[in-house]
Amino acid sequence: MKLFSNLISAIEITNKTSAKIEALVNYFKIAPDKDKLWLIALFTGKRPSRPVKTTLMREWCMEITNLPEWLFLESYSTVGDLGETMALLLPEPSHKLDLSLHEWMTELKTLKSKSDKEKKAFVLEAWSGLDQQECLIFNKLIGGSFRIGVSKKTLVNALAKLTNIDANQLMHSIIGNWEVDTISFEELIHGSHINYDNSKPYPFCLAYALEKELYELGESNDWIIEQKWDGIRGQIVKRNNEIYIWSRGEELVTKQFTELVEAVNNFKDDFVIDGEILAMKDNDVLLFNDLQKRLNRKNVTKKLLEEVPIGFYAYDILEYNGDDIRELPFEDRRKRLESIFGSIALPEHVQLSFLVEFNKWEELHSIRNNSRAINSEGLMLKQKKSPYHTGRKKGDWWKWKVDPLTIDAVMIYAQKGSGRRSSKYTDYTFAVKKDDALVTVAKAYSGLTDKEITEISQWVNKNAIEKFGPVRTVKPELVFEIAFEGIALSNRHKSGVALRFPRISRWRKDKPADEIDTIETVKQLITAP
């Protein structure tokens, strides 16, 4: 545990991805293979289910420390994390437990079936044998809340640096079906449980936000214009009668979108196609809010398949019958794509993306402004001669999104941040009017300067009304302009609406709280073009 604890400490004290990768590489170099496997499992969401209820752990901690519940809750409110609160309150260890990560995880897996009495004995023995940092890690592991600031991509990049194995192959390997107890570390990283040659994707070509006037791009007939759809980018790989779907986040999502697999089966040729995965019904693109219902589902029910059918708009082709054609000009790749799609009758939900017809740059302004009417985010501008780049390259592909929607709302809750911002209130909940009351519409934590965050934190300390753990209810006085990309009706929210990517646009010090938007005016934005 000490080795794993040191790794977590090294990761948490830095925001630099390079430093996190270096810490991971150093860990992989010296940790036992079973510990390496458990690290990968924990960082990719393969942790076992929680064996002990956190309410019981809280009771045991108060019993050991002789703290009244009000003082424990006050401590929890200040710290903001239950596992960390208990680690800080528990007494110094009376002895030393020196188990490895995989030994602890094995114990936790067997603990689930035991009685509460046995669980208590196990937890108290662990608490009395671990130092404060190790105790914090233990609490997070046993409480099922093990979250750390390392993405799958960062983990994969560390493994790639360690092994010199292709990062995409490693991604496929670690997110595939495997169990810690039935595979070795070497077998996992070399993909003995997968067939990577058939599934290998390419790095996505990405666009920069348009930062110049259209006429500065040159002749308009040198460009191809498409809608920028609000789904998730995906590559459909078809090789040797096998089909795989990769997300832009380098995750294998084939099992989530079975209707796309069935449709692509109709093609006779092999290829790798780049496009957009969308929620589509009756040939219309639905909102991203609908698509979210299908994302990250281990099992897609028949009801969900009917309620949120999935479609795909093909943008580009990167490989054809085994040949990498990314260096061909975009206009030539587009013709190849049109030929493939024109050779077979396809269902409505799998289509070639349609091109925007225009003659002069000026015509694109009205087309872009009408994007929300078809649930599009704006326009994509692609140079006809451009190859399919790896990542971003300025000049060839531009995204020209519509301006965000905005509302004026009042802050009603504030919560302290974590890490370096744990002493300040950085997470806020906003509300609008509903009749004579307020109803929450969004949470946001970005868009303010450090100076504004400090000022707001000082105000919260003086104007907090109630405490709920780390959350403070505040007087509804501070008004903010909230910007967001889209809005949809939602049964999951009390307000009846869900905002897409809400963030703080500006602090409206010029506006009193009685002039904020109403829920009626907010809902009017749903149909606004």
Tokens at residue 86, please? 């208990």
Q: Measure the CA–CA gap between 16 and 11, rounded to whole angstroms.
A: 9
Residues 156/189, Cβ–Cβ less than 8 Å? no
Q: How many residues does the chain have?
A: 529
Residues 472/464, Cβ–Cβ less than 8 Å? yes
Give 3-state DSSP helix, strand, coil % of the chain, rounded to 5.
40, 25, 35
Relative orientation angle of helices 33-43 and 2-12, to the nearest 10 degrees: 40
CB neighbour list of residue 201: distance below 8 Å, 6 or more residues apart? 168, 235, 237, 244, 246, 250, 272
Phi, psi of 246 (to 5 degrees): -110, 140
| Degrees, nearest 5: CA angle 473-506-478 | 30
Tokens at residue 206, please? 């990405």
Catalytic annotation present for 475: no
Side chain identity, residue 454: T
Q: Measure the CA–CA gap between 191 and 171, rounded to whole angstroms.
A: 10
Annotated active-site residue in 20, 119, 228, 433: 228
Relative orientation angle of helices 101-111 and 132-143, to the nearest 10 degrees: 40
Residues 178/38, Cβ–Cβ less than 8 Å? no
CB neighbour list of residue 29: distance below 8 Å, 6 or more residues apart? 162
The rounded radius of gyration (Å) of the Cα atoms in the chain is 26
SS3 446: coil
SS3 20: helix
Cα–Cα nearest to 7, from 421, 19, 85, 175: 19
Q: Measure the CA–CA gap between 266 and 312, rounded to whole angstroms.
A: 15
Q: Where are the beta strands (DSSP E) in 282-404?
A: 284-285, 310-320, 323-324, 350-352, 376-383, 391-392, 397-401
Residues 483/503, Cβ–Cβ less than 8 Å? yes
Q: Measure the CA–CA gap between 176 and 182, rounded to whole angstroms.
A: 13
Q: Measure the CA–CA gap between 377 and 392, rounded to whole angstroms.
A: 19
Q: Measure the CA–CA gap between 214 and 506, rounded to whole angstroms.
A: 28
CB neighbour list of residue 223: distance below 8 Å, 6 or more residues apart? 217, 381, 382, 383, 384
Rounded to whole angstroms, what are the CA distances from 432 to 437, 460, 501?
9, 19, 17
User: Catalytic residues, which ones?
Assistant: 228
